[in-house]
């Protein structure tokens, strides 16, 4: 399908005529007609339509232009408002049919048009007929298309539509159907265009377009108005549901933190649809105080997005008279905190921490965050005490938004000497004196005493 090109739209040059008829007048014009339904036909020429107002005015059906063949190039174009009109009408309970404005010059082109239309309308609930509209006798690329050729083209289109499960219908003016073609050639519904308050056409008519100067609430300007001598009690089901499962190559545009991305998805039928990918949104690090506020100057805090590295900066209000800033404390987004901690160790190494917290209200955006905070300190590292040196425990507040820290001293344990050696560190006791080896004994029974007795005994023997 080619892109929309208004200069190729032959229907722009259609003649307008008929009486000026409002939707209210139309309801009374045909009040004595038996089976009927009242409707309109529209294209992009009507612009944006308020379908809720159209429905409320009493319109029961709409024949919506699906597309057209260019009057010079011969390309096939989708009507710029086709999808919008189809969705709007169906959503408001208006039954729909479609028409294609043809400039086919032979049966092959007519068949191409029919195939294109059937594929295009498959996802929609098409309850009213699928129409073939040819009007361009002796014009531009159709200069050589006569009544016989136009009839053959129309039958090719209509037969294909019927074979694919849709109700076919032929559209023609009174002049064309009587002078160039024949009603008897078409064994299907016929839609007559004759702008008058009372048609004198004697052939079988199933739908009558009686004016192109209709006014309908919800539509700006003129619109064609119709009466159908039939109606449908139920809405037809769509013949195809788009799946849009395949991503079109090179169509992906990645989203950023602030801008949405997009990609084009293709249905198995070939129809394509643009899909929006939501923006990622920033993933901010914690606020960091870059300039601390004083009583005279405002402070500055910054944070950086983890994804795009964008930096955001905000001001911190000046301090009030009763506020201080402790260098070891973090000022978060909802408070200014002053914490003074004094640690004393007694014989049981117990620690007493006195925390004084003064808070002040910050920006209104943080009004829901509690205005006070009590530290709950947890151990992050530890150096054990030795016999001669104190140990230390490093702590920080368990609140991830608070950077308060503290240290606890572990007193040295002292040596535990045994036989001149510390049982903990193995250092020798400098004050320890060793006992003499084999000291003289004053009692018998010792090994030394016996030796001495033996020596004396020998001498006595001599």
Whether the predicted pLDDT of 365 surpasses 70: no
Share of residues in the chain with pLDDT > 90 (%): 52
Residues 323 and 318: their CA atoms lie apart, in Å, by: 10
**Cβ-Cβ contacts under 8 Å for 175 (sequence gap 6 or more):** none
Q: Are residues 251 and 208 in the same domain?
A: no
Q: Are residues 128 and 264 in the same domain?
A: no
Map tokens 């053959």 to a residue: 152
- Predicted TM-score of the model (pTM): 0.59
pLDDT confidence bin for 409, thresholds 50/70/90: confident
| Structural domain includes residue 209 | yes
| Structural domain includes residue 375 | no
Whether the predicted pLDDT of 347 surpasses 80: no
| Structural domain includes residue 125 | yes
- The whole-number pLDDT of residue 206 equals 95
Q: Which two tokens stand for residue 455?
A: 């020596």
Q: Are residues 265 and 202 in the same domain?
A: no
Residues 213 and 222: their CA atoms lie apart, in Å, by: 5
**Cβ-Cβ contacts under 8 Å for 148 (sequence gap 6 or more):** none
Q: Are residues 14 and 131 in the same domain?
A: yes
Residues 295 and 333: their CA atoms lie apart, in Å, by: 18
| Structural domain includes residue 406 | no
Q: Are residues 117 and 263 in the same domain?
A: no
Share of residues in the chain with pLDDT > 70 (%): 78
Q: What single DSSP character describes residue 366?
A: G
Last residue of a domain, one of 228, 260, 288: 228
Map tokens 């040196």 to a residue: 389
| Structural domain includes residue 27 | yes
Map tokens 């499960």 to a residue: 165
Q: Are residues 196 and 270 in the same domain?
A: no
Range of weakest confidence among 53-57, 80-84, 318-322, 329-333? 329-333
Greater confidence (102 vs 426) lies with 102
CATH value at residue 30: 3.20.20.80
| Structural domain includes residue 400 | no
Size of the chain, expressed as the number of residues it contains: 462
Cβ burial, residue 124 (10 Å; 0-12/13-18/19+): buried
Section 351-356 average pLDDT: 38
Q: Are residues 68 and 202 in the same domain?
A: yes
| Structural domain includes residue 180 | yes
Among 97, 164, 108, 90, CA closest to 132: 97
Q: Are residues 270 and 170 in the same domain?
A: no
Residues 116 and 111: their CA atoms lie apart, in Å, by: 9
Q: Are residues 120 and 269 in the same domain?
A: no
- The angle at the Cα of 100, spanning 99 to 104, to the nearest 5 degrees, equals 150
**Secondary structure element (H or E) that encloses residue 443, with its range:** none
| Structural domain includes residue 362 | no
Cβ burial, residue 218 (10 Å; 0-12/13-18/19+): buried
Edge-to-edge strand list for the sheet holding 391-397: 377-383, 391-397, 405-410
Which domain range does residue 258 map to? 246-277
Q: Are residues 163 and 117 in the same domain?
A: yes
Residues 2 and 77: their CA atoms lie apart, in Å, by: 5
- The whole-number pLDDT of residue 450 equals 41
Q: Are residues 117 and 69 in the same domain?
A: yes
- The whole-number pLDDT of residue 15 equals 54
Residues 215 and 304: their CA atoms lie apart, in Å, by: 59
Whether the predicted pLDDT of 362 surpasses 70: no
Section 407-416 average pLDDT: 82
Last residue of a domain, one of 197, 228, 259: 228
Greater confidence (137 vs 459) lies with 137
Among 101, 95, 90, 65, CA closest to 80: 65
Report residue 363: phi and psi, to 5°: -60, 155
How far are the Cα atoms of 58, 129, 225 from residue 211, in angstroms, in the given order? 17, 20, 6
Q: Which two tokens stand for residue 95?
A: 């039954």
Section 94-122 average pLDDT: 96
Q: Are residues 98 and 201 in the same domain?
A: yes
Whether the predicted pLDDT of 350 surpasses 70: no
pLDDT confidence bin for 372, thresholds 50/70/90: low
Q: At what angle do helices 147-163 and 107-121 cross, to 10 degrees?
A: 30
Greater confidence (252 vs 139) lies with 252
Whether the predicted pLDDT of 203 surpasses 50: yes
Number of structural domains (the chain) is 2
């Amino acid at each position: 399908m080619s892109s929309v090109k208004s200069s190729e739209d032959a229907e722009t040059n259609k003649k307008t005529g008929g009486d000026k008829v409002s939707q209210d007048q139309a309801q009374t014009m045909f009040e004595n007609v038996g089976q009927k339904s009242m409707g309109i036909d529209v294209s992009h020429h009507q612009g944006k339509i308020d379908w809720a107002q159209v429905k409320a005015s009493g319109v029961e059906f709409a024949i919506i232009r699906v597309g057209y063949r260019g009057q010079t190039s011969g390309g096939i174009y989708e009507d710029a408002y086709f999808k919008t009109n189809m969705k709007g009408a169906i959503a408001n309970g208006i039954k729909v049919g479609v028409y294609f404005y043809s400039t086919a010059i032979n049966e092959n082109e007519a068949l191409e048009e029919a195939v294109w239309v059937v594929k295009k309308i498959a996802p929609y609930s098409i309850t009213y007929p699928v129409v073939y509209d040819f009007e361009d006798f002796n014009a531009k690329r159709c200069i050589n298309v006569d009544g016989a050729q136009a009839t053959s083209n129309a039958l090719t289109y209509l037969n294909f539509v019927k074979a694919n499960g849709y109700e076919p219908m032929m559209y023609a003016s009174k002049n064309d159907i009587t002078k160039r073609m024949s009603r008897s050639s078409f064994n299907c519904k016929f839609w007559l265009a004759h702008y008058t308050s009372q048609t004198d056409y004697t052939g079988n008519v199933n739908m009558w377009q009686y004016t192109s100067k209709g006014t309908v609430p919800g539509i700006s300007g003129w619109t064609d108005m119709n009466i159908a001598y039939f109606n449908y009690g139920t809405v037809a089901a769509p013949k195809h549901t788009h799946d849009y499962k395949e991503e079109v190559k090179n169509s992906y545009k990645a989203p950023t933190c602030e801008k949405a991305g997009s990609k084009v998805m293709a249905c198995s039928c070939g129809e394509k649809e643009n899909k929006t990918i939501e923006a990622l949104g920033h993933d901010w690090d914690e606020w960091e105080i870059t300039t601390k506020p004083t009583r005279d100057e405002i402070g500055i805090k910054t944070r950086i997005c983890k994804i795009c590295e964008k930096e955001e900066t905000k001001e911190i209000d000046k301090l009030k008279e009763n506020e201080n800033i402790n260098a070891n404390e973090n000022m978060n987004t909802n408070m200014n905190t002053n914490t003074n901690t004094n640690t004393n160790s007694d014989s049981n190494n117990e620690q007493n921490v006195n925390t004084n917290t003064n808070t002040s209200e910050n920006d209104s955006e943080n009004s829901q965050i509690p205005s006070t905070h009590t530290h709950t300190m947890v151990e992050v590292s530890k150096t054990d005490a030795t016999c001669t040196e104190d140990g230390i425990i490093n702590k920080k507040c368990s609140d991830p938004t608070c950077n308060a820290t503290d240290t606890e001293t572990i007193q040295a344990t002292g040596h535990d000497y045994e036989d001149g050696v510390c049982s903990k560190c193995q250092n020798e006791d400098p004050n320890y004196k060793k006992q003499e080896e084999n000291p003289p004994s004053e009692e018998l029974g010792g090994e030394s005493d016996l030796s001495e007795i033996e020596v004396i005994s020998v001498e006595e023997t001599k």
